Each structure stands twice: as structure tokens, then as C-alpha cells.
Amino acid sequence: MNWVDTPESASIARFGHDDGARILVVEFKKGYAYNYYDVPGDVFEQMKSAGSKGQFLTDRIKGVYRYARV
């Protein structure tokens, strides 16, 4: 899994993507994490380059992909 630490984010501690399983894992600074399923690699790359990771998550991930708290 490729992980990206996000010390600049107010809410996201880090996020990673499993290319084979197409799962985006988002770990939050409050200590919980979510798996988002069927997320393509290019969406992960877009999130990596987004100015605000939290805003990208809200605008492009939530409500689009299935998810589960882990």
C-alpha cells in the first residue's frame, strides 16, 4: 500500500491506496479510519496533488464510493 502522510491537514492523518484491491484507506487524526472501495488509482493520484485533502475527500470520494469504518 502506498501511504501519504498529511501533517498539513486538520482532519486527515494519512491516506493510502491498494492498487490491486482498489481500496482507498483514510486514517483520521481522531483515531479512526475508513475504507473506500473501487477507487481507481488516478483518483488516489488526484487526492495526492489536491490542495486540501479533506475538501477532496468531501467533494470527490464521499457519496461516490462505497465505504466502511475499520
Half-sphere exposure of 59 (CA within 13 A, CB side): 10
| pLDDT score, position 11 | 95
Q: pLDDT (tens digit, 9 = 90+) per residue, 5-43?
A: 999 999 999 999 999 999 999 999 999 999 999 999 999
For 27, the grid coordinates are: 486514517
AA identity, residue 21: A
Residue 47 has pLDDT above 90, yes or no: yes
With cell 491516506, the residue in question is 15
pTM of the model: 0.95
- Torsional sign, CA 56, 33, 17, 38: negative
Distance of CA 6 to the CA centre of its chain: 11
